[in-house]
Amino acid sequence: MQPTNSNPLETGVVVSPHPLATEAGRAVLARGGNAIEAAVAVAAALAVVMPHFCGLGGDAVWLVCDREGRRRCFLGIGQAAAGVTVPTHAIPTRGPSSMLTSACAVDSWGHALAFSAANWAGRESFADLMSPAIELADGGYTPSASQDFWLDFRAQEHPAWPGFAAIFDHRSDAGLLRQPELAASLRCLADDGYRSFYEGALSEAIADGLAKTGSPLNAVDLAATRTREVDPLALDYRGTLLLAPPPPTQGCSTLAIMGILSRFDLAETAPATAARMHLLVEATKQAFLNRSSIGDPDFRAETTDPAAAMLEADSLDAGARKIDPASAMPWPHPANSADTVFFAVADAAGRCASVLQSTYFDWGSGITVPGTGILWQNRGAAFSTEPGHPNCLAPGKRPFYTLNPGIAIRDGAPFLLYGTQGADGQPQTLSVLLTSLIDDSMAPQAALAQSRFLLGRTFSDSRDSLKIEGSLRTEEVDALSALRHEVAVLPALSPIFGQAGVIRLSSDGTVEGAHDPRGDGCAADVSLSPDQNR
């Protein structure tokens, strides 16, 4: 089990999937930085030490809030190349043909810091926040068990990915992995500012490298890449306000699941039982039935907002009525696969950042942009090629996005920060976490230890079955089978079930944070002196 931290009000907490990244954020809080500033340091460090899940060549989605009522979402989502054409076949999941969208993670860091300076008295320089990441890329780090797992998992595939092996050219005899080209790119960002990724010397190197790989992205596409700042979606769940990012993310799916569950008395079902899990699975099915309507709102032809429609009371009531407590609904719908990292920070003033950062599949496109050390995302593979589909590929369009970090508000103040890796599994895992945290009043560590489920296909099982974690009792697994679920049992604490994190800010002034026992993550706290609270 990963550590949990519980501390008084003058303490800030960082949770992330890697201890080196958590330490980078902790150091920012220790010197008086705020939650956003610490989160940027975490994000940059993760771009180095978790190249299998995120990096400079990917995207990021942020939720931020504070006790003064500010609640904002930063959609750091890259758009499709202006010169892209829609193929007549499915978009490949790897290689240059999957490198169709720009990368907006770095711009989201700069956008978040601008918000921090304007609203939270942020004073940290971008260069200082890049420093831990530069040191890790230059000096090296020991690859995590998660990184080794996913490298081994793709052992039959990655030898065919052009230039992929270059990532590991600088692994020492002691096992440290150095990334000197990535360090140089990070140093360029520190020296010239975050927009140099899009309009400076670094952008020129990136554009040249992208052209060499065969990607349709160019300098014009990089310069056009911008983070969108929008209002988050919101849904009341038993007196707790749940926030989620709007389309093109699937945040409305998570809220719809919770809205359907709010129609049931979960006190009648205990956690980690077939009755509770059946209800969560069936609510997921009802919410996912409408998910195909989600796409980039800038390209929406109809006037109806699909996210708003999914969260209307009549729609949630109808979904709840369709759930049969005695039988599972068949589920033939294909699933999406992806990987990402979740991290969150709450500072001493109660200012919060909940963030997901990703290059889509593990190892993204599999291609490192020549001369930069930047592994580019394969987010183009998230597009449909079906004409008229809300998520059909088009020039300048943002793809449907599984990233949906969350924040819960209680009595007007931040209460929970949460999120998880896992594409289609994200709303499913969040349903387990949120019902445990809210309905059962579990502590973060206990909620993260709960047995999970995953509906549909996974990397290791192509059947549209209900994957159940092996920690669930045998009699409960049998009971799910009796309810007509096609059950497949996977090992307990398998990485397939994602890596989640939670921070809880209690009304008694304590703050707790924990990261998933299924990964390498941890939580760190730091006590702040009164003059550092700003």
Which of the residue ranges 107-121, 154-168, 291-305 has the most confident prediction, judged by mean pLDDT? 107-121
- As a dihedral over the C-alpha atoms of residue 325, residue 330, residue 334, residue 336, rounded to 10 degrees, the angle is 10
Residue 245 forms part of a structural domain: yes
Q: List the structure tokens of 516.
A: 């998933």
Summarize the confidence of residues 269-285 as an average pLDDT. 93
Give the per-residue pLDDT at 497: 81
DSSP letters, 430-489, are HHHHHIIIIIS---HHHHHTS--EEES--SS--S--EEEETTS-HHHHHHHHHTT--EEE
At 110, give phi and psi (nearest 5°). -65, -40
**Overall domain count for the chain:** 2
Q: Is residue 532 part of a domain?
A: no
Tell me the residue range of the domain where 393 lies: 4-229+340-403
CA separation for the pair 218, 216 (Å, rounded): 6
- For 206-233, what is the mean pLDDT? 97
* Domain final residue pick, 354, 373, 403: 403
Share of the chain above pLDDT 70, in %: 92
Adjacent-strand bridge partners of 75: 61, 228
For residues 177-196, one letter each, b for 16 or more C-beta atoms within 10 angstroms of the residue's C-beta and e for the rest, the string is bbbebbbbbbbbbbebbbbb
**Which secondary structure element, helix H or strand E, spans residue 106, and what is its range?**
helix 105-119
Question: Quick check: 404 and 61 in contact, CB under 8 A?
Answer: yes
Its pTM surpasses 0.75 = yes
Question: In this structure, is residue 295 part of a structural domain?
Answer: yes
If you average pLDDT over residues 505-524, what whole number do you get?
Answer: 77
Q: Which residues contact 268 (CB under 8 A, 6 or more apart)?
A: 275
Is there a domain that residue 209 lies in? yes
Mean pLDDT score of the chain, rounded to an integer? Answer: 90
Omega before 390 within 30 of 0, i.e. cis: no
Q: 328-353: b or e for each residue (b if 16 or more CB lie within 10 Å)? A: beebeeebbbbbbbbbbbbbbbbbbb
Could you tell me if residue 530 is inside a domain? Answer: no
The last residue of one of the domains, among 403, 433, 457, is 403
Put residue 140 in one of left, alpha, beta given phi > 0 → left and psi -120 to 50 → alpha: left
| Residue 17 DSSP SS3 | coil
pLDDT tens figures, 432-449: 999 999 999 999 999 999
Angle CA 315–318–319, to nearest 5: 90
Q: Using CA atoms, how far apart are residues 395 and 79, in angstroms rounded to an integer?
A: 8
Q: What three-state secondary structure class fits 204?
A: helix
Sign of the torsion formed by the C-alpha atoms of 320, 325, 327 and 328: positive
Nearest residue to 390 via CA among 252, 515, 296 = 296
Structure tokens at 161: 């990915």
CATH label of the domain that carries residue 441: 3.60.20.40
Q: Which residues are catalytic?
A: 340
Same domain as 211, residue 158: yes
481 lies in some domain: yes
Residues 488 and 501 in one domain: yes
Q: Over the stretch 2-38, which tens digit does the pLDDT of each residue have?
A: 444 545 446 699 999 999 999 999 999 999 999 999 9
Q: Using one digit for the tens of pLDDT, what is the confidence trace for 116-128?
A: 999 999 999 999 9
Considering the domain architecture, whether residues 17 and 73 belong to the same structural domain is answered as: yes
Q: Place 422 in a pLDDT band, splitting at 50, 70 and 90.
A: confident
Q: Evaluate whether residue 534 is within a structural domain.
A: no
Closest to 57 measured CA to CA, from 223, 226, 206 = 206
Are 470 and 415 in a shared domain?
Answer: yes
User: Looking at the predicted structure, is the pLDDT value of residue 388 above 50?
Assistant: yes
Nearest Cα neighbor of 449 from 400, 482, 492 is: 492
Q: Tell me: pLDDT of 463 over 90.
A: no
pLDDT range class, residue 300, cuts 50, 70, 90: confident
Question: Looking at the domain assignment, is residue 52 inside a domain?
Answer: yes
Determine the pLDDT at residue 178: 96
Q: Which among 481, 364, 308, 321 is positioned nearest to 53, based on CA atoms? A: 364
Which among 99, 60, 107, 103 has a CA at the least distance from the CA of 83? 99
- Say if residue 487 is in the same domain as residue 415: yes
The single residue listed with the structure tokens 């987010």 is 379
Asked if residue 483 and residue 349 are part of one domain, the reply reads no
- Strand 487-490 and strand 466-469: the pairing is parallel
- pLDDT of 529 reads 31
329 shares its domain with 210: no
Residue pLDDT, tens place only, 36-76: 999 999 999 999 999 999 999 999 999 999 999 999 999 99
Residue 533 has pLDDT above 70, yes or no: no
Average pLDDT on 443-468 reads: 77
The DSSP annotation for 514-532 comes to: EE-TTSS-EEEEEE--GGG
Q: Say if residue 438 is in the same domain as residue 375.
A: no
pLDDT score, position 464: 65
Of the residues 348, 370, 403, the one at which a domain ends: 403
Facing residues of 505 across strands? 511
Q: Are 465 and 488 in contact (CB under 8 A)?
A: yes
Both 275 and 419 in one domain: the answer is yes
pLDDT of residue 534: 28
Please state the φ and ψ torsions of residue 16, each to the nearest 5 degrees.
-155, 165
Write the burial class of residue 391 (CB in 10 Å: 0-12 exposed, 13-18 middle, 19+ buried): buried
Q: Are 455 and 428 in contact (CB under 8 A)?
A: yes
pLDDT at 155: 93
Regarding whether 443 and 331 lie in a shared domain, the answer is yes
Q: Is residue 301 domain-shared with residue 419, that is, in the same domain?
A: yes
225 & 241 share domain: no
Nearest to 240 by CA among 265, 262, 260, 264: 262
